[in-house]
Amino acid sequence: MPTSTNSAAMAEHRQAVEALRQSYRALPQGSPVRLVKRTSNLFRPRRAPDRATGLDVRHFDKVLSIDPVARTAEVQGMTTFEDLADATLAHGLLPPVVLDFKKITLGGGVVGTGAESSSFRAGLPHDQVREMEILTGDGRVVVATRDNEHADLFHGFPHSYGSLGYALRLQIDLEPAKPFVRLRHVRMDSVESWISALRRITEDRAWDGEPVDFVDGVYFGPDAVHLVLADFTDRAPYLSDYTGSKVYYWSLRQRGADFLSTRDYLWRWDTDMYWTSRLFGLENPVLRRLWPRRARNADLLRRIQMFDRRFGFTSRVRRAVGRPFEWVLQDADLPAESVGEFMAFFDAEIGIKPVWLCPMRLREPISLYPMEPGKLYVSLGFWWLVPTSPDRPADYLNRLIERKIAELGGHKPLYSTAHYGEDEFWRQYGGDGAYWRLKDAYDAGRRLPDLYDKCVLAR
């Protein structure tokens, strides 16, 4: 059968859109509108929506259709990458960019951006989108493409974090996938050698004469920077499993090659939320056995961590025993040539290890996130609590990092805390006035909190 479609699902979607639009209109004016949804992947404070001003989008979570011939899919905005990947893998296909945690939604990935190990060739989540159906702040439902009358919204929607509207349906490209993935782990003796190898891989799509479909890396130290290369394969001599007693990132230093099912490769970081499951003792073999396997996932670990941060349990205990700390849970998106300088600064001032390294090249420009399409960048992820001194401001280390990122011509995604002053923020994320032009065009009544209010002030 050439096409997997569900006309009933599309009809149901249209009915749900109209009902949502009516619900939106009925919400009280003058109060900020917030989504009621099942999941979140924010690592910054988020107020629970009030029933009176909450917009329930939980049922916009379906894959509506898949066309294996055209290699496209119609997907609702609250569909998780896990559900999307499962649906498309059944046809031997995948979205070109599948973000790292199972419960990230497609709409959230597009509106918040994000990179994964295919991003060196496939860009960011918005690059795979053909069109978006968006409920705008002024209550309209519009369809935006890269070249229609709403092209300004299409290019300004990524990195707007729901401050312009909400994606209800997206049409995306798909690409062929195979059942298994072969991994190769290559240790480099410096960041510079890692970047040099990365540039060759980006141009050749190969390493040592073998194809490369995915690439990321992990910085363990100045002389231990691991390049992780992967490619699709139809056969695997064995399959590793990192959802049980073994921890995925340990394997990068323990073996030169590995094989995973494609599904397990997609979620290799999800079980331990990279390595931050250490916060919960889950690298201890005894505790790991006691912790139910179904509870080893980034969604639950994030919820526990954010609950702790909201009420300050760990912070109060550490301060009471004279060991204050600052949460540093951030990404930095830097031009590749700046990564070495940033890591020298980071080792000296912050000291978190490991650090995730993910190369990326945009295919489509983003109005609100000034990265040059085609240029090689690296997203660096660092997530841990860092010792500090009582006389420092509470955000001292995060501000230090923000200043260094700006100095090196980079930016940081806004999924976590941001500490910019308002003028500084708009210089970096306003797109030379593009944001406010979009706000005037699609949310003139300011029903939705603006980008600064949402991402810095957490309003």
Those residues with Cβ within 8 angstroms of residue 77's Cβ, 6 or more apart along the chain or in another chain = 57, 60, 105, 106, 107, 108, 166, 167, 168, 169, 170
Q: Do 192 and 62 belong together in one domain?
A: no
Structure tokens at 432: 């030379």
Distances (CA, A) of 178 to 62, 182, 386, 390, 444: 24, 11, 41, 53, 47
Q: Helix (H, G, I), strand (E, B), or coil: what is residue 85?
A: helix
Spatial separation of the C-alpha atoms in residues 430 and 180, rounded to whole Å: 42
Segment 11-26 shows an average pLDDT of: 95
Among 268, 285, 301, the domain boundary falls at: 268
**Alpha helices (H) in 281-336, listed in sequence order:** 285-290, 298-311, 313-320
Contact criterion met (CB below 8 Å) for 40 and 298: no
CA dist 64 and 390 (Å) reads 53
Q: Are 160 and 438 in contact (CB under 8 A)?
A: yes
What integer pLDDT is reported at residue 51 of this predicted model?
A: 55
pLDDT score, position 229: 98
Query: How many other C-beta atoms lie within 10 A of the C-beta of residue 404?
Result: 19
Residues 119 and 88 in one domain: yes
Residue 303 lies in a domain: no
> How many residues appear in the chain?
459
Higher pLDDT, 52 or 282: 282
- Give the model's pLDDT for residue 354: 98
193, 133: one domain: no
Q: Is residue 133 part of a domain?
A: yes
367 three-class SS: coil
d(CA 364, CA 172): 14
> Alpha-carbon distance 168 to 75, whole Å?
8
Residue 2: the pLDDT is 36
- Together in a domain, 136 and 186: no
8 A C-beta contact, residue 351 and residue 386: yes
Q: Label residues 140-154 b or e (16+ Cβ within 10 Å = b).
A: ebbbbeeeeebeebb
Q: How confident is the model at residue 319 (pLDDT cuts 50, 70, 90)?
A: confident
CA distance 452 to 423: 10
The predicted-structure confidence for 355-403, as pLDDT tens digits, reads as follows 999 999 999 889 999 899 999 999 999 999 999 999 999 999 999 999 9
**pLDDT, tens digit (0-9, with 9 covering 90-100), for 164-210:** 999 999 999 999 999 999 999 999 999 999 999 999 999 999 999 99
In a domain, 111, yes or no: yes
The C-alpha atoms of residue 382 and residue 354 are separated, in whole angstroms, by 7
Q: Which domain holds residue 230?
A: 180-268
The pLDDT assigned to 3 comes to: 43
pLDDT classification of 127: cutoffs 50, 70, 90: very high
Task: Find the radius of gyration of the CA atoms of the chain.
Answer: 22
Count: domains in the chain: 2
* Residues 35 and 99 placed together within one structural domain of the fold: yes
Domain end (from 211, 234, 268)? 268
- 86-89: long-range contacts, CB 8 A cutoff, minimum separation 24: 86/263, 87/63, 88/63, 88/174, 88/177, 89/177, 89/262, 89/263
By the 10 Å C-beta count (0-12 exposed, 13-18 middle, 19+ buried), 269 is classed as buried
Cβ-defined contacts of 22-27 (< 8 Å, 24+): 23/55, 23/56, 24/55, 24/135, 24/139, 25/139, 27/52, 27/53, 27/55
249 assigned to some structural domain: yes
The CATH number covering residue 126 comes to 3.30.465.10
The answer on 84 and 18 residing in a single domain is yes
Chain mean pLDDT for the chain: 93
Instruction: Tell me the C-alpha distance between 338 and 405, whole Å.
Output: 9
Is the per-residue pLDDT at 240 higher than 60? yes
- For 7, residues 6+ apart whose C-beta sits below 8 A from its C-beta are none
Cα dihedral 308/313/314/317 (nearest 10): 180
Q: Is 341 exposed, middle or buried (0-12, 13-18, 19+ CB in 10 A)?
A: middle
Q: DSSP secondary-structure letter at 53? A: T
What integer pLDDT is reported at residue 30 of this predicted model? 79
Same structural domain, 101 and 161: yes
Span 57-74, mean pLDDT? 96
Asked if 77 contacts 170 with a C-beta cutoff of 8 angstroms, the reply is: yes
Same domain, 184 and 263: yes
Confirm whether pTM is higher than 0.85: yes
For 337, which DSSP code? G
